[in-house]
Amino acid sequence: MTKPMNRPFNYFFLPIITVILLRPQIATALNTIHSENNASLSRRQFGITSSVILQTLSSTPQRASAGSSPIASRFESDILTAPPITAGTRYTGHENLYFPSWVEGEWDATQTLVSTKAPLGLAFVGGPQGSLEVAKATMSEQEQRLNQPVRLKLKFVNTKFGVVEDRAFNLKSRLNSFAGRNVVASVEYADVRESNRAAVLAAGGKETDPLTTTLVYFKGPAAQKTFVISHGQDPLDGDDWSGYEVDRSIFALTNTNTAPPVTTDTEVLYELRKIGDGDVVEGRLRLAGYLNPQADKLYFDARNRAVSLNDYTLTLKRSS
């Protein structure tokens, strides 16, 4: 029988789970395991975790038009199919999602959740067993965060290969900002075939260039490793840019608890627009959560479609 989590762990993580609301990854499970009778970690109970949340907007940006780009048009449908895995197909060792040049720099960001949906039905966000009780708790937590702006710092850096987000800096900033206090002990980069330090340096990059795989150690007994398994962007259209990535996150306890790691896939969709001289960027962020074939009872019923959608407005103001 799996050992139940201790109360210090529960009380440490409850604020994180309740507030993060980033993606269907690490939320409700941690919320529900505070019950000593709940001995196991439930995957979709992890509701909404770290990895990404990028910015936010005070006013609503224009919606994509009928002739919009393929990526931008994914904001308009509630039925999304997961993009194919692209990681490792380029064989460069420095794969990444590259942003337009006008995103480079440090930003004062704001993000506001404006919509949260379970497009295939509540059971699909109800943990590995499709529990309606878990699903209702997950959706209730997200709905409590609707229209509540969160402010944070974000950084994007220029590399030889293009402008990328400083994932270590941004991930720590997002987690701490959404939790309302410092919950991250450290964030490190990890080498994988698709993005590793040796390949970056061999291609003329720098020791400080961000990689795509991160390892987060929380101040509580837990860690999370996140990989980018798919990414792409539409051609830059003047001052408008759209891109996406699919993140695979593995969350695990680092104490003596024997609960198995929790693995989740989340598609992160960006739609950004440069305003004026570039000191302001507005846009939208959509987080689409998908089920995992090794963990979720309803995986085949979902047919590779998104089971949760969280839409945010975004704004970036260049830090002075």
Which residue from 137, 109, 176 is spatially nearest to 317, judged by alpha carbons? Answer: 109
- Give the pLDDT of residue 99: 97
Give the whole-angstrom CA distance, residue 17 versus residue 186: 18
Supply the pLDDT for residue 228.
95
pLDDT at 293: 87
b/e code 29-46 from CB counts within 10 Å (16+ = b): bbbbbbeeeeebbbbbbb
Higher pLDDT pick, 248 / 24:
248
* CB burial string 292-319: b at 16+ within 10 A, e below: eeebbbbbeebeebbbbbbbbbbbbeee
pLDDT bracket for residue 237 (50, 70, 90) = confident
* Residue 139, pLDDT score: 92
In this predicted model, what pLDDT tens digit does every residue of 10-21 receive, in sequence order? 333 433 333 333
Residue 127 has what pLDDT?
82
Q: Tell whether the model's pLDDT for residue 134 goes beyond 70.
A: yes
Q: Is 13 helix (H, G, I), strand (E, B) or coil?
A: helix
pLDDT at residue number 264: 86
Q: What is the mean pLDDT of residues 49-66?
A: 34
Confidence of residue 281 (pLDDT cuts 50, 70, 90): very high
Range with the lowest mean pLDDT among 10-14, 89-93, 116-120, 129-133? Answer: 10-14
Higher pLDDT, 90 or 2: 90
**Residue 142 · residue 310 · CB < 8 Å:** yes
180, 15 Cβ separation under 8 angstroms = yes
Q: Which range, of 43-52, 69-78, 119-128, 291-300, averages the lowest pLDDT?
A: 43-52
Q: What is the pTM of this model?
A: 0.81
CA distances from 224 to 88, 195, 252 (A): 21, 18, 6
CB–CB of 24/44 below 8 Å? yes
pLDDT of amino acid 15 = 35
Q: 84-113: per-residue pLDDT in tens? A: 988 767 778 899 999 999 999 999 999 999
Paired residues of 237 in beta bridges? 240
Q: Which two tokens stand for residue 202?
A: 């061999």
Residue appearing with tokens 């959509």: 286
Q: Per-residue pLDDT for 59 more than 90?
A: no
Taking the CA atoms of 72, 155, 108 and 115 in sequence, report the sign of the dihedral they define: positive
Please report, rounded to a whole number, the percentage of residues in the chain having pLDDT higher than 90: 62
Instruction: DSSP letter for 298, please.
Output: T
* Mean pLDDT for all residues in the chain: 81
Is the pLDDT at 122 greater than 50? The verdict is yes
pLDDT for res 294: 79
Provide DSSP, 185-240: EEEEE--BTTB-HHHHHHTT--TTS--S-EEEEESSSEEEEEEEEEEEEPPPBTTE
The reported pLDDT for the residue numbered 68 is 56
